[in-house]
Structure 1
Amino acid sequence: MRIAWEGRELYCHISTKAGFDPVKTLYVCAPGADAASYEAAARFAQASGWREIAEQDGAVLVLPIVPHGWRAEDAGLLMEIYRGTRGSFPTQSGKSLYGRGGYLWCWETLIYAVGYEDGASFLGDASAACPSFFAAAALVGGVPQDYTPGERPSSHWLVENVSADYKTLNRELPVCLWLMVRERQEADAAVRYFNWSNGAQGPGCEEMFDDISATVYRAPDGGAAQVRISTGTFGPEPALARTVFSQLFERVIRWKNGPDGKLAPFMSRADFYASPRFALDSVVYGGRSYGFFVHVPEGLTAEQARGLPLVFSVHGRGEPAWMFAEKNGWDRLADETGAFLLAVPDSPENIWFLERDGGVFARMIDRLHSRYGIDRERVYLTGFSNGGMMTREAGTRYPQLFAALSPWNAPPAETWPGFAEGGWQMPCFIYLGDNDPVARGTEEPLLEQMLRANCCAAVRTAGGFVPDAIYNGENHYTAARGYTEGERFGTAVYRDAQGVPRVCVTVMKNMPHGAIHDESRAAWEFMRRYRRPGNGKAVETVPHTESTETECAKQKEERLK
């Protein structure tokens, strides 16, 4: 497909398999001669194997046309192309996400690039100038030529209005790169530069990726940041493209949870479904089958997990449960504490609607109680974005099912009228980002309703409801309590007449429409305090005297005996 953008041509292939799921954007910087015209780029896309890969994966493939060569192009070209075209790819399958008007959703978290020869050198320069743009990149037969952009401030392209203390430079941002060169010394400068960015030290380790050997330098945090070096003769063969895609691009994501995002390991759909970490189950409601993934805390058998509370983590619009399940760290927290069972439900066509889907939670709770013996009085509902909207709606439409709620970054949603009139109590921990255009400004109506439901006598002023306390990284979200990014929290705490926190509103610093693992820890620390006896209207406080990690570690140890 030929696309015109800003006076230039782009070769694009839109997969006929793309539809409801988030779409990867694959950029290919072909060698100069193969990128000089649309016809040459089309031939290269086919011969290199990338067109077929994009088609099978449900991705969008883009090859820029550079008639004057890659040296004439600005290193920010690919980022500008993405910004200008990401919403303009029409579905070829007849399927598209609700609200997208027949166009595909090319996620900021799923951007990958590969370059060949002089196209690889250009991509290397782009990796130095725009390191937070790609989740991963592969350079075949070329290396960066210009590292000077490393001294510039980052683009912080995911958060426009960063805080005054965010002063990150490009060279300080971790990357995920695979360098394929003839001789090792060709890549020495790139290895030194990007290893410094990643904080990688030591000689690296030798690994095999299909039939290609590589020296791999990994970041010490065990995440996805890494530099791979492979030596030999490499070219635009389909076999090489398949290895780059399956062994790199399908294993890394850059989550949208800060000004420049965060690299993280990632499982493909096939790998996730094959993993024993989550068990797939399903129920039928309204004539539809709803799948959901269940995670039992690591080290516990299903029998040892009997009697545990249940946490629902509900995905957002366009984000299937298999992608969402490990995103916010609920599974890791379950492993660490051994304190709850995790369920991640899937919705039809990756979108939640109260009238269609709200009643499914009762079915899932029944199934999980029969199979795992969950504590029905301690079921907690949390969700992100459209899942946060469902948390607000289903949590107030079916309050008897849940002991507490935690909606994250939720768009505007109605509270069920019968909730306010019925005298239901419902502890609630609300999240939103300070740079989230989806959720900012939506918290006030929910806050007012929850304060009333939980008998919190907060005073309202022109500036809003006055909290009883403010929690931040200095007085609550500390490293001693298990938090790694506590400085990003600002929580307004509202207490009931007994002085128990019943409603919290947390604004996350430098946060777009995203979330970090620490948020799960804080939400769990709040929700676990509550029980709904007999599924009645009142909520009781469950006594806890120790920190989350200390107390839950003791409970897990007891279960393992």
Structure 2
Amino acid sequence: MKRRDFMKLSAATALGATVAAMAPSALAATELNQTNGDLHTTVDRKTAAMGLGDGKTFAYDPEKPYLNVNVGLFHDAQVTVGGQNVGTATYYLPDGMDPWAPAVIVLTPDDTTAKAFSGTVTGRMWRTVACKNKIAVAFFGPENGGSWNLSLSAAGRDDAAALDALYQLMRKKSVKLSGAFSMDKSHTALVGYKEGGAAALLFGARWASDFSSICAVDAAEVPAASLEAVGGQYVLPFPGDSTRGVQEEAIAAKTVDTPVWLVRSNADSTNKAALEFYLKANQAVAKGDGVYVSGRAGSAAEVWVTEKAQCPAAIWEKFSGQFKRFMALQLPGRVAKAEDFTRRGFDIHEEWVNGELRRWMVYVPSTYTGNEKVPLVLVMHGYTASMYAIAEESRWYDVAEQNGFIVVFAQGLVRPADLMGNIPTAMWLAGPFAAMAGKDTDPSVDLEFINSLLDRMEQDYRIDTTRVYATGHSNGSLMTWATACRYASRFAAIAPVGYMFTPLPELDPAVLLPAWAFLGEYDSAGVAELVEDNGTVKALQGWNAHNATNEAAVAESSSYNGAFVTKSFMGGNAPLVKYTVVKDTPHVYLQEESVAIWNEFFSRYSRGADGTLYYQGNAVNAGQYQPSANWYAAK
């Protein structure tokens, strides 16, 4: 994934009193003088990043908040299954990793521990790749440094379970863990060498949706019987937070499309079974020169077979760094190419705003000339994530390009997360999260940042201020609710995804605010079912009361072949509150949601200069709230 250097802007256009724009290199160890707290110096971070000695944990520095606090080699990360230790991993975390960083899991050959392999020539080359690309690398070996259990013997370790446990461990941010960091669950690649290559092909197949791609180098033979056994196991159709939905969806591992590269792995002889397994999984067709492309509509997955040796840098740059795995309505998920944020249309900013170093990314459609005013959509990511992550997940930039509006992806500041027991992570201070503000931090600072950002967008671009909208996912959904309550008159409509919340007291009762909320059927941050007195029902009741809807006349509909099941509550002559359960999905933001939100909701609303709300060009007539119990189930 490529990311543009942060734009350098003049002090005259600063949002705060001070503007200090930086390139990503300014966030690296070479530019660091010292952190606060323990006064670790540049030399300390350089030494740790070089892998000289064990990894180190540095104090959070509010002057450089996006710097990762854990740097270097962290050995003996305990991997557990069912409460039992099943192995140890070694992490390498370079200096200067962004929040929500991609990662590579490297499986070692037989008779090689993770710690030992991290110090080999290949291991050091992977550490160099990590430094250059600011990604994490984890090394993992067979049980007790012995042999991978490729035969799936009941007497050996369940290597598939161990690999999944490592992936889940790498997603955790607890300060109690060795080398915790913020990992991009949609961009975690799996690479294996020799017997570890066979393990990557076999156990990666078992948990296909965990990994964005698999690369096997000089792979030993993968037993066909073992592939058949794991291929029949059910998997999540998405990088999941839990196992909810596995049995209901009944998706076999052998049907999940996965980018795979077999490098010098005898795909035409001893590993022919592995090649055929992945060709079938991808419904792949030959493209030529050892490349096969997925036959699934909308999938970017490919299978490569080559005999030329490949160094870690080539593996990352050509293949592992190119693919990402997202949830989509097309089960079992969506394999896409990583977005190039250096391409035309994207502008990335880092500036001091109200005393804090803030980031945001703007996408300007190719049709924008500045001669006419255009709508604006504000998009906010979830807890620990990033503006890049929500951009790729939701693909609002595609919707903006197709419909001629500007979209801004705002980045939550990386803050200490002591109250959650986590390392400093990207977050939005809103609702319950506002309590996480430190004693010297105003809990409204993020709300004020968003307000300033909207001012800035109206200054830098010709924005139609009657057509400004907000959406977000999870913690960003909470931020959407809170921002809309604080600055209701700025928005024509909002669409929070993945988190429900009742109106805050500061919401002006005179301002109608259309809201369309989404929850996944298997959402981990909310209960999709509408049951009396649960949080989802209470939130909808609160918004229905504010927008004066008639709950007795709720309209029900479905779309996307029944995947979206929607209830619409009319307020006067407009559907002012909508709620959609997305079937078969977890806690995610779908690109299909972005399309629907724009086409069916945002594009239909505007707000006049006097605050009047319009729906499809007609003024919305405020109704009277009429509560009813006919749209939810009794306890």
Do they superpose with TM above 0.5? yes
Matched, 1:366 2:455: yes
Measure, in 2, the Cα distance between the counterparts of 1:84 and 1:288.
Answer: 32
Letter in 1 for 2:597: A
Match of 1:553 in 2: none
Match of 1:534 in 2: 609
Match of 2:199 in 1: 122
Match of 1:303 in 2: 370
CA contact (8 A) 2:349 2:360 kept: yes
CA contact (8 A) 2:234 2:246 kept: no
Does the C-alpha gap of structure 1 residues 38 and 468 become closer, same or farther in structure 2, counting only changes over 3 Å? closer
Match of 1:555 in 2: none
Alignment of 1:279-298 (within 5 A): 279-281=347-349, 285-298=353-366
Measure, in 1, the Cα distance between the counterparts of 2:469 and 2:178.
Answer: 34
CA contact (8 A) 1:404 1:426 kept: yes
Letter in 1 for 2:400: A
Alignment of 1:125-524 (within 5 A): 125-142=202-219, 144-146=222-224, 147-149=227-229, 152-156=232-236, 158=240, 160-162=243-245, 166-181=249-264, 185-186=268-269, 187-201=271-285, 203-206=286-289, 215-221=291-297, 223-232=299-308, 234=309, 240-256=311-327, 261-267=333-339, 271-272=340-341, 274-281=342-349, 285-298=353-366, 300-303=367-370, 306-338=372-404, 340-349=405-414, 350-354=426-430, 355-410=444-499, 413=501, 415-419=503-507, 422-440=509-527, 442-459=535-552, 468-473=554-559, 477=560, 486-498=561-573, 500-524=574-598
Letter in 2 for 1:454: N
Shift in Å at residue 26 of structure 1? 2.6
Shift in Å at residue 177 of structure 1? 0.5
Does the C-alpha gap of structure 1 residues 283 and 24 become closer, same or farther in structure 2, counting only changes over 3 Å? closer
Does the C-alpha gap of structure 1 residues 449 and 161 become closer, same or farther in structure 2, counting only changes over 3 Å? same
Shift in Å at residue 357 of structure 1? 1.5
Q: Deviations over 1:295-347 (max 9, x none)?
A: 2234x13336x222111111222222123223212111222333x22111223
Q: Deviations over 1:333-375 (max 9, x none)?
A: 222333x221112232222124011123333333333333211
Measure, in 1, the Cα distance between the counterparts of 2:116 and 2:606.
Answer: 65
Letter in 1 for 2:250: K
Does the C-alpha gap of structure 1 residues 19 and 438 become closer, same or farther in structure 2, counting only changes over 3 Å? farther
Letter in 2 for 1:132: S
Does the C-alpha gap of structure 1 residues 39 and 359 become closer, same or farther in structure 2, counting only changes over 3 Å? closer
CA contact (8 A) 1:493 1:505 kept: yes
CA contact (8 A) 1:23 1:59 kept: yes
Shift in Å at residue 164 of structure 1? 7.3
Q: Deviations over 1:1-40 (max 9, x none)?
A: 123444444240241537661244432222213x2x4664
Q: Larger deviation: 521-530 or 436-445?
A: 436-445
Letter in 2 for 1:192: E
CA contact (8 A) 2:375 2:463 kept: yes
Q: Deviations over 1:464-505 (max 9, x none)?
A: xxx6111113xxx4xxxxxxxx4321111101233x211101
Does the C-alpha gap of structure 1 residues 541 and 38 become closer, same or farther in structure 2, counting only changes over 3 Å? closer
Q: Which TM-score applies when normalising by structure 2?
A: 0.71
- Name the % identity: 20
Does the C-alpha gap of structure 1 residues 163 and 54 become closer, same or farther in structure 2, counting only changes over 3 Å? closer
Measure, in 2, the Cα distance between the counterparts of 1:434 and 1:101.
Answer: 34
Q: Which TM-score applies when normalising by structure 1?
A: 0.79
CA contact (8 A) 1:111 1:136 kept: yes
Instruction: List structure 1 runs of 4+ shifted beyond 6 angstroms.
Output: 88-91
Shift in Å at residue 384 of structure 1? 0.9
Letter in 1 for 2:263: M
Letter in 2 for 1:416: L
Measure, in 2, the Cα distance between the counterparts of 1:130 and 1:183.
Answer: 23
Shift in Å at residue 453 of structure 1? 2.1
Measure, in 2, the Cα distance between the counterparts of 1:163 and 1:171.
Answer: 14
Letter in 1 for 2:321: E
Shift in Å at residue 195 of structure 1? 2.0
CA contact (8 A) 1:456 1:502 kept: yes
Measure, in 2, the Cα distance between the counterparts of 1:523 and 1:281.
Answer: 26
Does the C-alpha gap of structure 1 residues 39 and 502 become closer, same or farther in structure 2, counting only changes over 3 Å? closer
Measure, in 1, the Cα distance between the counterparts of 2:601 and 2:178.
Answer: 39
Measure, in 2, the Cα distance between the counterparts of 1:62 and 1:381.
Answer: 41
CA contact (8 A) 1:14 1:60 kept: yes
CA contact (8 A) 1:11 1:42 kept: no
Measure, in 1, the Cα distance between the counterparts of 2:583 and 2:273.
Answer: 35
Does the C-alpha gap of structure 1 residues 302 and 366 become closer, same or farther in structure 2, counting only changes over 3 Å? farther
- Structure 2 gap segments, 5+ residues each: 1-74, 150-155, 415-425, 431-443, 528-533, 619-635
Q: Larger deviation: 129-138 or 257-266?
A: 257-266
Measure, in 2, the Cα distance between the counterparts of 1:30 and 1:165.
Answer: 35
CA contact (8 A) 2:467 2:491 kept: yes
Letter in 2 for 1:3: A
Match of 1:85 in 2: 169
Does the C-alpha gap of structure 1 residues 502 and 280 become closer, same or farther in structure 2, counting only changes over 3 Å? same
Q: Deviations over 1:138-197 (max 9, x none)?
A: 011125333313652422272533287623222211011101126562354433332222
Shift in Å at residue 289 of structure 1? 4.5
Does the C-alpha gap of structure 1 residues 171 and 379 become closer, same or farther in structure 2, counting only changes over 3 Å? same
Shift in Å at residue 518 of structure 1? 1.1
CA contact (8 A) 2:190 2:204 kept: no
